[in-house]
A and B are shown apart, each in its own frame.
Chain A
Amino acid sequence: MEDIILLSHGSGGESTRKLIEEEILKYFRNDILEELLDSAVFNLHGKTAFTTDSFVVSPIFFPGGDIGKLSIYGTVNDLSVMGAKPLYISVGFIIEEGLSFDEFRRILQSMKLASEECGVKIVTGDTKVVEKGKGDKLFINTAGIGIIEEDLDWRGRKIEDGDLVIVNGGIGEHGIALMLERLGVKSGEEVKSDLAPLNSLTIPLLKSSKGVKFMRDPTRGGVAGILNEISQKYHIDIEVYEEEISIKDWVKSASEILGIDPLYAANEGKVVMIISKDEKEKVLEFLRVHPLGKDSRVIGEVKKGNGKVYLITKLGTKRILDTLKRDLLPRIC
């Protein structure tokens, strides 16, 4: 076989069949996918969560992960924060002609491992090839379906004055690591994306505490972006304590040089949650024994208000923490 992917691999002919059966199916094989029909067919029981996301990250391999792993974890995380157990995933590849088979196989292998780790099946998919120059190596779209056990659905719980904001660790690592990589900055081993699947954290947490009232993964727009969405959606104010926010040293120093506040930088293994203050100890105790929650902290508090987020600085002053008003580097997820 050729060592690069060509337009003919997307034309629907023999090369396409070979690409699907001899490459993709080899990695993703399961009982539903291997039927290779126009739709995946399966039964679902219970309240269903359904989500989709497209991944255009550049470069496709970055410290701490790659576009394939990101496309699985990203969709798994969108389900997990809703309390849904992720079950099935679809994968659409848009490949730029010229991508090497070697790189494509590394991505497939990485997606295979990621989906196995999360206990999801890749059940349907699509592959298109575009002319050289019309894409950037590889774009991936994934959609996912999960089932929410009735008492894990947090949507009806009322957010009120005094509720607490918790994040499960250091912020800004994915965004800042990607920027350093894109700028060609040689950096140490500690510099990497926080990319991780959250299902093993969020679902057991929702089972153990009914005080969790909101969860979302702070990807683009960062923690500050999510908090502004929450405050506007629920017509509350949120006060964030600058001193309580966990930021790794390398993120701190790189963000100073780049002139980017880590509060606005993307995360791929973090969850922002709002919990009832009575459940604080229980939730923190639970999170801190989990590998993805060791550095969990209460970073803020819900106040009565009208949709504003404030930062209480380490000097004790209070200022607006607005949404991002300018472009960070694009295409980080």
Chain B
Amino acid sequence: MEAKALIESIRKISKKEVNLMEFCGTHTHEIFRYGIRQILPENIHLLSGPGCPVCVTSEEDIDYIIALSENYDLGVITFGDLVNVPGSKGSLNYLRLKGKEVRIVYSPLEAINIAKENEHKKYLLIGIGFETTAPNLAYTLIRAKEENIKNLLFLSLHKLTPPAMKAILDMGEVKIDGIIGPGHVSTIIGREGWKEIFDEYKIPFVIMGFKPEEILYGIYLLVKILEDGKPALVNAYENSVKEEGNKKALEIMYRVFEKGPAIWRGLGLIENSGLVLRDNFEEFDIRKIYPIKVASKKDNLCRCGEVLRGVLKPTECPLYAKVCTPENPKGPCMVSSEGTCAAYFLYGGE
């Protein structure tokens, strides 16, 4: 259906005051980019959840990487946005400017080449992302093991989406009437991956794509379910998402990783919400090799945590746009283009 017709249909059926939360940074970004919040009726409120992997990276984890690089002369290999995330003593970019080796790669497999080309130096590859990126990193480690690469270590900051969603629902700080289901994560875990949450909370849940028409269609379905009062878990992104997900990717992911604790910015420590290396990959596991503790100091003024939980609007944070901008971010929600603060800032959110 055309976007304009969808908007009309939503207007026609929507009567209840509802809060819909998205759990995927790409949805956040696209919703702002297309100004979707403006065209919905006033009784439909869109909230952004902790859907951007960079944004939920904790101060502790950044501080740990910086301490490793400073104490053990490790070269750091990572993906773009992570280098700008502030820890309590600076970012990885700051580390780079101080003369430490920090390399940005676009594919984790590049790390294998870097390690091979510099045999006498140790490298730390940082794996970050949700279920969508973890299989790639897992594959990289399988390759590194096969090729017997000794100078590449690994830090998993990988996180799983359903436990974070559950944590937010359990906190109950905001009323969530419907869930804009993350399309990319669902391609990996399938509709099946959300059943447990749906069965427990019975909150209408629609997995949707990322084109403006797909988002509007998904919202239309959520509104219809809410107005009818019959909760359902619907896959509206059928071209990409299968019921059982991507079995091959899941198999690779769980061959290398198992569920373990993870620290989320804004949510704290959540058991079984992260991916940690299995014992048969422990030769890569930096946390086992250098189990140093860091004392992190939190920036009390940055309210990223509340923004991530949908409790606070970016504009309500005292730092927003005054001292915290995409050029000079004070918190991770302003770093990534998928972060809620950056989306507000770039696209003029009200």
- The reply to whether A319 and B347 contact each other, CB–CB distance below 8 Å, is yes
- The reply to whether B212 and A325 contact each other, CB–CB distance below 8 Å, is no
B residues near A, CB below 8 A? 3-4, 7, 32-36, 38-39, 106, 212, 216, 325-327, 337, 342, 345-348
- A315 in complex: contacting residue of B36, B106, B327, B347, CB < 8 Å: B36
Give the residues in chain B near A34, CB-CB below 8 Å.
none
In the complex, the number of residue pairs spanning A and B with C-beta atoms less than 8 Å apart equals: 48
- The reply to whether B35 and A318 contact each other, CB–CB distance below 8 Å, is yes
Indicate whether A43 reaches chain B with its CB closer than 8 angstroms. Answer: no
Query: In the complex the two chains form, what is the Cα distance from A320 to B326 in whole Å?
Result: 15
- The reply to whether A322 and B346 contact each other, CB–CB distance below 8 Å, is yes
Q: Report the minimum CB–CB distance from A180 to chain B (whole Å).
A: 11
Q: Report the minimum CB–CB distance from B242 to chain A (whole Å).
A: 22
Q: Report the minimum CB–CB distance from A85 to chain B (whole Å).
A: 39
- The reply to whether B212 and A315 contact each other, CB–CB distance below 8 Å, is yes
- The reply to whether B39 and A326 contact each other, CB–CB distance below 8 Å, is no
**Do A315 and B7 contact each other (CB < 8 Å), given the known contacts A325-B327, A326-B326, A326-B327?**
yes
Q: Report the minimum CB–CB distance from A263 to chain B (whole Å).
A: 11
- The reply to whether A326 and B337 contact each other, CB–CB distance below 8 Å, is yes
- The reply to whether B34 and A317 contact each other, CB–CB distance below 8 Å, is yes
Q: Report the minimum CB–CB distance from A239 to chain B (whole Å).
A: 13
- The reply to whether B36 and A317 contact each other, CB–CB distance below 8 Å, is yes
- The reply to whether A315 and B346 contact each other, CB–CB distance below 8 Å, is no
Contact with B along A132-148 (1 / 0, CB 8 A): 00000000000000000
**Do A316 and B326 contact each other (CB < 8 Å), given the known contacts A322-B346, A325-B345?**
no
Query: In the complex the two chains form, what is the Cα distance from A183 to B36 in whole Å?
Result: 33
Top 8 nearest A-B pairs (CB, nearest first) are A317-B35, A320-B348, A325-B326, A319-B35, A319-B347, A313-B34, A317-B38, A315-B3
What's the tally of chain A residues with a CB closer than 8 Å to chain B?
13
Query: In the complex the two chains form, what is the Cα distance from A326 to B325 in whole Å?
Result: 10
Query: In the complex the two chains form, what is the Cα distance from A318 to B32 in whole Å?
Result: 10
Query: In the complex the two chains form, what is the Cα distance from A159 to B80 in whole Å?
Result: 40
- The reply to whether B345 and A316 contact each other, CB–CB distance below 8 Å, is no
- A residues 43-62 near B (Cβ < 8 Å) are none
Give the residues in chain B near A315, CB-CB below 8 Å.
3-4, 7, 34-36, 39, 212, 216
Query: In the complex the two chains form, what is the Cα distance from A151 to B245 in whole Å?
Result: 66
- Can you give 20 contacting A-B residue pairs, CB < 8 Å? A259-B337, A313-B34, A315-B34, A315-B36, A315-B212, A316-B4, A316-B39, A317-B34, A317-B35, A317-B36, A317-B39, A319-B35, A319-B38, A319-B348, A320-B346, A320-B347, A322-B346, A325-B326, A325-B327, A325-B346
- B35 in complex: contacting residue of A183, A313, A325, CB < 8 Å: A313
Indicate whether A158 reaches chain B with its CB closer than 8 angstroms. Answer: no
Indicate whether A233 reaches chain B with its CB closer than 8 angstroms. Answer: no
Indicate whether A314 reaches chain B with its CB closer than 8 angstroms. Answer: yes
Given contacts A313-B34, A315-B4, A315-B216, 7 further A-B contacts (CB under 8 A): A315-B3, A316-B39, A317-B36, A319-B32, A320-B347, A325-B342, A325-B345
**Do A319 and B33 contact each other (CB < 8 Å), given the known contacts A183-B106, A325-B345, A325-B346?**
yes
Nearest residue, chain B, Cβ from A317: B35
Query: In the complex the two chains form, what is the Cα distance from A326 to B3 in whole Å?
Result: 30
Give the residues in chain A near B216, CB-CB below 8 Å.
315
Contact with B along A292-330 (1 / 0, CB 8 A): 000000000000000000000111111110100110000
Query: In the complex the two chains form, what is the Cα distance from A319 to B37 in whole Å?
Result: 11
Give the residues in chain B near A325, CB-CB below 8 Å.
325-327, 342, 345-346
Query: In the complex the two chains form, what is the Cα distance from A314 to B36 in whole Å?
Result: 11
Q: Report the minimum CB–CB distance from B217 to chain A (whole Å).
A: 13
Query: In the complex the two chains form, what is the Cα distance from A326 to B34 in whole Å?
Result: 20
Q: Report the minimum CB–CB distance from B41 to chain A (whole Å).
A: 14
Nearest residue, chain B, Cβ from A326: B326
Q: Report the minimum CB–CB distance from A327 to chain B (whole Å).
A: 9
Nearest residue, chain A, Cβ from B107: A183
Q: Report the minimum CB–CB distance from A16 to chain B (whole Å).
A: 35
Q: Report the minimum CB–CB distance from A260 to chain B (whole Å).
A: 9
Nearest residue, chain A, Cβ from B346: A322
- The reply to whether A313 and B346 contact each other, CB–CB distance below 8 Å, is no
Give the residues in chain A near B32, CB-CB below 8 Å.
319
Nearest residue, chain B, Cβ from A179: B106
Give the residues in chain A near B346, CB-CB below 8 Å.
320, 322, 325
Q: Report the minimum CB–CB distance from B92 to chain A (whole Å).
A: 14
Nearest residue, chain A, Cβ from B29: A259
Give the residues in chain B near A319, CB-CB below 8 Å.
32-33, 35, 38, 347-348
- A residues 242-281 near B (Cβ < 8 Å) are 259
Give the residues in chain B near A320, CB-CB below 8 Å.
346-348
Query: In the complex the two chains form, what is the Cα distance from A316 to B6 in whole Å?
Result: 13
Give the residues in chain A near B3, CB-CB below 8 Å.
314-315
Contact with B along A193-219 (1 / 0, CB 8 A): 000000000000000000000000000
Nearest residue, chain B, Cβ from A185: B106
- Counting chain B CB atoms within 10 Å of each CB, which of A183, A314, A326 scores highest? A326
Q: Report the minimum CB–CB distance from B116 to chain A (whole Å).
A: 17
Query: In the complex the two chains form, what is the Cα distance from A316 to B34 in whole Å?
Result: 9
